Amino acid sequence: MLQRLRGFRDMYPEYMRARRIVFDKICSVARSFGFHEIDSPSVELLDLFRIKSGEEIVKQTFSFMDKGGREITLIPELTPSVARMIAARKDLTKPVKWFSFPKMWRYEEPQSGRLREFYQFNADIFGVSEIYADAEVMALAMEILDSLGLEGKYTMRFSDRILMENMLRSMHIDNIEEAFRIIDKKDKIPEEVFYEEMKKITSEENVDTLLDILRISGDIDAVLSKLEHFERSEVIANLKDLLSAYGKRAVFDLSIVRGLAYYTGIVFEVHDARGEYRAILGGGRYDGVVELFGAQHTPAVGFGMGDAVLELLMRREGVWPEEKIDMDYFVAIIPGFREEAIKVAMQLRKKGYRVDIELRERSIGKQMKYANKINARYVIIVGEEIKSGEVVLKDMESGEQKVVKVENIGS
Ligand code: HAM
């Protein structure tokens, strides 16, 4: 038999139902924060990611030549497409707050929480250079997790690329992009590999100093007092105060730099509190991307959250919705009354109920068994009584059965 590709998932109805509850919750929290939903193509020119995202992500793309000889790819992330959409519309009233929940693809080694095809919720704010927008998206990320029952089960950590860049430059490290790339991998690679890669761009002594700095995390004031670079301390302290106004908190942690090339300011990541899984979500400020599409300078900040680690964590914490199918009504049919039964089903469907109906000619006994299997709340048996506008209504929970007027059902 032909197998499913590795890192891809088939999703059956029970699972989809649970996912739908989670996805709807996430989108409704985004809407409550004043974000509007958008969508964009699943396939883009590979160059879009070459210019914007950095080498690392291009290595992971599902890319190919199309019939017109163009080098195209399934999207590995959404940020460049959204930035292009912003640049194309000069008439948008700023700030712009957009969210979306597309599928995306990365040719990574499939492992716990990392797949080759996944969904990623994105929320971004455009047109605000003030730290207020950073606080708003970070708070949104945390409110989403809290609303899913994960309060206290995750840690939001953040850092600042400006502060980090200044620090690296003061150590005469000039290849900042490469330094960020290596620092981002630090927790995933052995310390010797970190040394080796870093030593290609700076001295051994500097690598030691850097390792000390990267260990600094915790209370923002304490961390800032340990550093000589105060130029961003006000902004960072302000962010902490803003987050507490939202009723949220984040840990300042210099080891957070993020893998993508375009970040220019605050960067953040959320991990599960036990540190068992890969990042649940990540984001930050990327003030230079929109203008690469020929628009005016447009500051931007946002995050992306995949569905995979979120699901692992929700399952571990017992807050993943129950995976089952159910139905409001099942319409059972006595032979000879199919058309009347269809009419009854349609009346209830128009009232907004989920209604299944017998599509074969099974015995009533078998129809009842089926109704049980699909977890129908009520069964309506359409037979002789329909001539006087009545049917048998059975409550599948209590077992109670009575004859009722069709127009009185479900109103
Ligand atoms: P990213 O850190 O590459 O950032 O991905 C963000 C999140 O997407 C990760 O934390 C994880 O939840 C999920 N994710 C990434 N790769 C995979 C995978 N192979 N399988 C399952 N989930 C995955 C970005 O993509 C940025 N564009 C986010 C952003 C939006 N920054 C600003 N706005």
**Tens digit of each residue's pLDDT (9 = 90 or more) over 339-370:** 999 999 999 999 999 999 999 999 999 999 99
Distance 370 CA to ligand 1 centre (A): 42
Best mutation site among 77, 144, 188, 311 for ligand 1, i.e. most ligand atoms within 8 A of its Cβ? 77
- DSSP calls for 229-272: --TTHHHHHHHHHHHHHTT---EEETT---S-TT--SEEEEEEE
Report CA-CA distances (Å) from 282 to 59, 103, 222.
Answer: 19, 17, 24
At residue 73, the pLDDT reads 96
At residue 46, the pLDDT reads 94
Distance 264 CA to ligand 1 centre (A): 17
User: Is 70 exceeded by the pLDDT of residue 220?
Assistant: no
Q: Which residue has the higher pLDDT, 379 or 167?
A: 379
Predicted TM-score (pTM) of the model is: 0.94
* Lowest-pLDDT choice from 65-79, 209-223, 281-295, 391-405: 209-223
Question: Confidence class of residue 228 from pLDDT cuts 50, 70 and 90?
Answer: low
Best mutation site among 52, 55, 84, 120 for ligand 1, i.e. most ligand atoms within 8 A of its Cβ? 120
Q: How much is the average pLDDT of 247-275?
A: 92
Q: Is residue 61 in contact with ligand 1, taking CB distance under 6 Å? A: no
Q: Is residue 106 in contact with ligand 1, taking CB distance under 6 Å? A: yes
User: Is 80 exceeded by the pLDDT of residue 234?
Assistant: yes
At residue 144, the pLDDT reads 98
Specify whether the CB–CB gap between 217 and 271 falls below 8 A.
Answer: no
At residue 124, the pLDDT reads 98
Best mutation site among 35, 101, 118, 298 for ligand 1, i.e. most ligand atoms within 8 A of its Cβ? 118
Numbered ranges of CATH 3.40.50.800 in the chain: 327-408
| Digit-coded pLDDT (tens) for 85-126 | 999 999 999 999 999 999 999 999 999 999 999 999 999 999
| Digit-coded pLDDT (tens) for 310-338 | 999 999 999 999 999 999 999 999 999 99
Distance 332 CA to ligand 1 centre (A): 48
Residues ≥6 apart with Cβ < 8 Å to 24: none
Nearest residue to 106 (alpha-carbon basis) of 73, 81, 83, 80: 73
User: Is 80 exceeded by the pLDDT of residue 229?
Assistant: no
Distance 269 CA to ligand 1 centre (A): 10
Specify whether the CB–CB gap between 113 and 277 falls below 8 A.
Answer: yes
Provide the sign of the torsion angle of the four alpha carbons 166, 168, 171, 172, taken in this order.
negative
Please report the atom of ligand 1 found closest to the CA of residue 113: 21
Separation of alpha carbons 150 and 154, rounded Å: 7
Nearest residue by C-alpha to atom 28 in ligand 1: 304
User: Is 90 exceeded by the pLDDT of residue 180?
Assistant: no
Numbered ranges of CATH 3.30.930.10 in the chain: 13-40+78-316
The CATH code for residues 327-408 is 3.40.50.800
Please report the atom of ligand 1 found closest to the CA of residue 269: 10
- CATH T-level assignment (fold) for domain 13-40+78-316: BirA Bifunctional Protein; domain 2 (3.30.930)
Q: Is residue 313 in contact with ligand 1, taking CB distance under 6 Å? A: no
Please report the atom of ligand 1 found closest to the CA of residue 304: 28
Residues ≥6 apart with Cβ < 8 Å to 398: none
Q: Is residue 122 in contact with ligand 1, taking CB distance under 6 Å? A: yes
Work out the mean pLDDT of the chain and round it to a whole number: 93
Please report the atom of ligand 1 found closest to the CA of residue 53: 27
| Digit-coded pLDDT (tens) for 14-69 | 999 999 999 999 999 999 999 999 999 999 999 999 877 777 788 899 999 999 99
Q: Is residue 102 in contact with ligand 1, taking CB distance under 6 Å? A: no
Tokens standing for residue 176: 């900042």
Tally of CB atoms within 10 A around 181:
19
